[in-house]
Amino acid sequence: MQSEEIQPCELGRYISELQAVVVAICDSPSFRASPKSCQFLRHIVDRTLQGNVDELKERLIGFALLGRDASYDTGSDAGVRVRANDVRKRLAAYYAVSCNDFEFTVDIPAGSYVPRFYMPRSFQHVNPVPEFVASAESALVEAVPEPPPAAKISLHLLACPTLVALFLCIICMRWQLAQEHPFASFWNSVFQDHHALLYVPLSRPGEPQEVAPFDRLEDIGPLFSLAGQFHTGITPVRSLTSRLGPNDVMIFIGTITSSSASSSSGSSSVPTAQDHAFHSEDNRLFIDTSPSGSQIVDRSAGYARINTDGPAALLTIVNGPERSIHIDGTDNAAIDALIMTLCNPNAFPEELAGSFQDGTVTQIVFPIAPHAQSLVFHEALPMTQTAMNGSSENSN
């Protein structure tokens, strides 16, 4: 029986049928003996039906399913490719013995992890026209005289060129707006113009530092997924002694303290991530941690605490010769909420437009309380940071 592919825009109409097919496949003898293959199939189908095909890249699948490190080498580790080939073979074996002509089918094309779905043409809900109705309509058509040629040109035909031109104008306007959206502009500056590095301190200082702490992987996962959308990646670093190159941008997650950073070796004047972390002492706003809790403090207002009516996140963007983005907060929930906001184009704060101007520092306070207003501070780069960056340039 002939079948046709279900287009991505039509998948929402057949979610229940496709989910039922996956259940039947995983219950079949071809898959019953391999729970990992079933898990792989469910994962890629669920992500596709949810519209999250950007997460179906080899590194992200290895990170989510196989427990691989976020920076593992996909060239030398073929775990995802081996698992995908096993699923393809089991699908072929399943369909070889299946006699159900009306069943939806799932296929994983070679070289891709995004499944395709097919259905028989007979499944489409087409209401047949009764024969006597068709005969009556045919008789009516034959009885009506054909109009003269001039009458065939309708207003619809005359309006077609105008409608096509209007449609193209709308498409162009939407494309232009998308290109100028603060979300695209901001992350293009990070991923396309720079090499993004990521440092996440341990929640329990004193332990050996992992590339990305295991207890924070789920929270920082959206950043790796976001980098995949821009066809690039983020390089995690183990310590703040990493040297920053001229095209590097360092992304810090959480509070950077002396106990969470190892001391820089040597006396080289080349700036390190640690230098930038501790020069945050020169920024106007910072997180003050005390036994009574964490608060955002304004140095320029006599170290007054900013009233946020509950937990809040603090975003700091430093635009010196070496750029850095610091995502901090009064607690982990506030930090996680800010990460999700920055990775969501529909919730991305418009206040970040133009935040990558050279020689400036942008700080924004994001209260977590509903309907709370953000506080935005655009200022010139503090003199100590300017002097540090200038001396490093001269030494190079």
Q: For 153-163, what is each residue's pLDDT tens digit?
A: 556 666 677 77
Nearest to 188 by CA among 356, 351, 70: 356
DSSP string, 198-264: EE---SSTTSPPPSS-GGGHHHHHHHHHHHHHTT---EE-SSTTPBPPTTEEEEEES---GGGSPPP
C-alpha span between 262 and 272 (Å, rounded):
11
Tens digits of residue pLDDT in 325-343: 999 999 988 998 899 889 8
Q: Which residue stretches of the chain have pLDDT < 50?
A: 125-134, 136-137, 140-141, 151, 177-179, 204-211, 214, 258-271, 273-274, 276-278, 386-396
Mean pLDDT of the chain: 76
**196 and 235 in contact (C-beta within 8 Å)?**
yes
Tens digits of residue pLDDT in 70-83: 778 888 999 999 99
Tens digits of residue pLDDT in 83-107: 999 999 998 888 887 655 557 889 9
Q: What is the dihedral of CA 290, 291, 295, 299, to 10 degrees?
A: -20
3-state secondary structure at position 11: helix
C-alpha span between 274 and 258 (Å, rounded):
9
